[in-house]
Amino acid sequence: MTGRHDLHCHLDGSVRPGTVADLAREQGIPLDRPVTELVIAPADCGSLTRYLTYLDLPLRVLQTPEALRRAARELVEDWSADGVVHGEARFAPQLHGRQGMTLDEAVSAVASGLAEGRAATGVRTALLLCCLRHQSPEESLAVAETAVRRRDVVDGLDLAGDERLYPGAPHRPAFDLAHGAGLPCTVHAGEAAGPESVWEAIDVLGARRIGHGVRSAGDGALLERLRRDRITLEMCPVSNVQTGAVPAPAGHPATRLLAAGLAVTIGTDARTTSATSLAREFAVLRESAGWTAEQERLAQEHAGAGAFGNRPADAP
């Protein structure tokens, strides 16, 4: 398949600012500053913790099925405008129950929006559910059970959150359940913490893909394992610099890891929070790290091989 693939994209971080403003107005939520200041993070947040605060308002307005459906549909439209032929949206359904929405209802709403977007654009999509490191193993198990139960629309399971503060091992029951059902898994690791978090993601949680993994570069044995097992690295240069995971795009490890034969891919992470697109991510790499068309082609080839789902436009 030709065209761009975005394998790492959080729905709550990719809601159009205008849509956030519309939803806030409809829901009677006052905004004390321009919406862009509330949902777009500065170029240098200094930490993942601060970066995540820019998701607070989008999460607040995404508490109804209608809002989730709209956000998902518009994300597919934005992918289409960005030249993306396959996009994978991930979200944590357990964060959308403030007004009583169940996990299944949240999943159905996002799946409906993705389907509407596919029908309108022809972009192929996948849906991943996120367990969260700071929540209990029981909450993660409930998310995994939902993912398995909704295999009709769910394509993978993820673990998100700050791995520097919260280990992944307590969430193993959720990932064991997913593996038993044949549901592929990705895990955020090697972003806020070092190589040990990536080892845990692979050996304890059975991850086939690693979200970010930028701090893997200093561990030769880990790099050999990632190369040998063809574990996909979902790297997001713009947000990696914003969160302080990488000092500057010029030195982003994606360049040397791609050259070393690892399955490096490039994603957007949070299109709104980082004010980015896949076109911008590759432009940053070209301008700052000297990437060529061949490097972009290779990263996209890895993304196509590492994709979890591939629902065509006419799929439910």
State pLDDT tens for residues 32-53: 999 999 999 999 898 888 999 9
Q: Is the pLDDT at 171 greater than 60, yes or no?
A: yes
Count of structural domains within the chain: 1
Report CA-CA distances (Å) from 78 to 7, 11, 29, 214, 218: 14, 12, 25, 26, 36
Query: 74, 88, 163, 191: which one is catalytic?
Result: 191
- The contacts of residue 186 (CB under 8 Å, 6+ apart) are 128, 156, 157, 158, 159, 207, 208, 209, 210, 211, 232, 234, 308
In a domain, 316, yes or no: no
Dig out the tokens for 241 from the structure.
């610099």
Residue 111 included in any domain: yes
Average pLDDT over residues 203-214: 97
Is the pLDDT at 1 greater than 80? The verdict is no
Read off the pTM.
0.96
N-to-C CA span, the chain: 21
What does DSSP assign to residue 181? T
**Cα separation of 253 and 259, whole Å?**
10
| Cβ atoms within 10 Å, residue 257 | 21
DSSP single-letter state for residue 249: G
- Whether residue 288 lies inside any domain: the answer is yes
Strands of the chain, DSSP E:
4-10, 84-91, 124-132, 156-160, 185-189, 209-212, 232-235, 264-266
**Residue 218 binned pLDDT confidence (cut-offs 50, 70, 90):** confident
More confident: 2 or 298: 298
Contact (Cβ atoms closer than 8 angstroms) between residue 174 and residue 144: yes
Report the 10 Å Cβ neighbour count for 310. Answer: 16
In a domain, 173, yes or no: yes
- 315 domain residue, yes or no: no
Report the CATH number that the domain containing residue 51 is assigned in CATH: 3.20.20.140
Domain that includes residue 288, residue range: 4-306
Residues 215 and 194: beta-carbon distance below 8 Å:
yes
> Are residues 117 and 75 in contact, defined by beta-carbon separation less than 8 angstroms?
yes
For residue 244, tell me if it sits in a domain: yes
Higher pLDDT, 294 or 312: 294
> Does any domain span residue 314?
no
pLDDT tens for 245-297 read 899 999 999 999 999 999 999 999 999 999 999 999 999 999 999 999 999 99
The average pLDDT across 121-140 equals 97
pLDDT, tens digit, for every residue of 70-105?
999 999 999 999 999 999 999 999 999 999 999 999
Mean pLDDT of the chain: 95
Nearest Cα residue to 71 out of 82, 59, 54: 59
Residue 37 a catalytic site member: no
- Alpha carbon dihedral 246, 77, 119, 97, in 10-degree steps, equals 70
